[in-house]
Amino acid sequence: MLKENAEKMQVGVILENNMLANDLFHLKINVPKIAEKCKPGQFVMIKVISGLEPLLRRPFSLHRFERETGIIEIIYQVVGKGTNILSQRKNGEELDILGPLGNGFSLRGEKRIGVVGGGLGIAPLLAVAEQANNQGKEVVAFLGARTEKYLFAREDFKAVAQTIVTTDDGSFGNKGPVSRPLERFLEKNTLDLILACGPIPMLRAIANIAEAKGIPAQLSLEQRMGCGVGACLGCAFPIKADTAEGYTYKRVCYEGPVFWAQDVLFSIPEKVNK
């Protein structure tokens, strides 16, 4: 491992690992050297247990972090062996953590920001919503999930943003995709910047809406990651570039996970307009 990445490794201590829903957990870790360097939109790679099985670390976006206390928070869903093992880890146990990694969201002189999260894509948006609110910006949050039990952190978002909620099954808030209330909001209102995270189909819809309205947008891409440090190329995604083909592949873990929507290609056309 490169020295710069080795320096990002630290052993953290589990403070809380609480179940939010049947397969959804909220993890708090004391890991000061990582917490002090975190930025909204970044992520960490966690070795869920010591030993060789499972061998690879798992990536987790940063839900929240506190530089003063050295605490980071993660929301994760049990989807396989690694996250199942993590869900059984207890308070006081140690975790081998690498981070913070990747490039996060960037705020500039915007006055009104929209954050759009779908599913677990809600998780990394709270930190940037809180940052924007602390900077005196107006924040509007659009949160979407399959059903009410997966709409975590609603009250936290309400504390810093006007919050609009949707569920696929209509069990809470509006029924339908989270892109729909964003469209309705923009019929009568404006946003200076949109920040979004969620499944690729959702991000494609948000990118189209932002383009149609002429609003700059940043997308946090969700991709499977192997190493988390740009070495394995397993998370490469097509991004517009000044090449003969009009695009190149960039590593979501290293150059991302946040990219400008105008640069992201959700499919490879025969020819890209430069």
User: Model confidence over 60-80: pLDDT tens digits?
Assistant: 999 999 999 999 999 999 999
Query: What is the span of the domain harbouring residue 40?
Result: 3-101
Do 138 and 77 lie in one domain? The reply is no
Q: Quick one: pLDDT at residue 270?
A: 64
Query: Which of 101, 132, 166 corresponds to the end of one domain?
Result: 101
What average pLDDT score do residues 142-167 get? 97
Do 254 and 119 lie in one domain? The reply is yes
Does residue 156 belong to any structural domain of this protein?
A: yes
Q: Which residues contact 32 (CB under 8 A, 6 or more apart)?
A: 10, 70
**In the chain, how many domains are there?**
2
Do 18 and 82 lie in one domain? The reply is yes
As given in the structure block, the two tokens for residue 8 are: 């990002």
Do 25 and 76 lie in one domain? The reply is yes
Q: Quick one: pLDDT at residue 37?
A: 96
As given in the structure block, the two tokens for residue 247 are: 């695009």
What average pLDDT score do residues 122-151 get? 97
Do 85 and 119 lie in one domain? The reply is no
Q: Does pLDDT of 273 surpass 70? A: no
Query: Which of 101, 134, 163 corresponds to the end of one domain?
Result: 101
User: Token pair 């309705």 is at which residue?
Assistant: 184
Do 148 and 256 lie in one domain? The reply is yes
Does residue 130 belong to any structural domain of this protein?
A: yes
Query: Which of 64, 79, 101 corresponds to the end of one domain?
Result: 101
What average pLDDT score do residues 106-132 get? 97
Do 70 and 14 lie in one domain? The reply is yes
Measured between alpha carbons, how far is 12 from 73 in angstroms, rounded to an integer? 12
Does residue 146 belong to any structural domain of this protein?
A: yes
What average pLDDT score do residues 259-268 get? 93
Q: What's the CATH code of the domain at 148?
A: 3.40.50.80
Does residue 66 belong to any structural domain of this protein?
A: yes
Is residue 148 within 8 Å of 171, Cβ to Cβ?
yes
Measured between alpha carbons, how far is 184 from 211 in angstroms, rounded to an integer? 15
Do 13 and 49 lie in one domain? The reply is yes
Q: What is the mean pLDDT of the chain?
A: 93
Do 40 and 141 lie in one domain? The reply is no
Do 69 and 199 lie in one domain? The reply is no
Strand 193-197 and strand 112-118: pairing?
Answer: parallel
Measured between alpha carbons, how far is 266 from 100 in angstroms, rounded to an integer? 26
Q: Quick one: pLDDT at residue 1?
A: 47
Residue in 216, 224, 219 with CA at minimum distance from that of residue 239? 219
Do 86 and 129 lie in one domain? The reply is no
Q: Does pLDDT of 3 surpass 60? A: no
Cα dihedral 252, 185, 158, 74, rounded to 10, equals -10
Q: What's the CATH code of the domain at 66?
A: 2.40.30.10
Model pTM?
A: 0.93
Does residue 106 belong to any structural domain of this protein?
A: no
Q: Does pLDDT of 167 surpass 80? A: yes
Per-residue pLDDT band for 227 (boundaries 50, 70, 90) equals confident
Does residue 51 belong to any structural domain of this protein?
A: yes
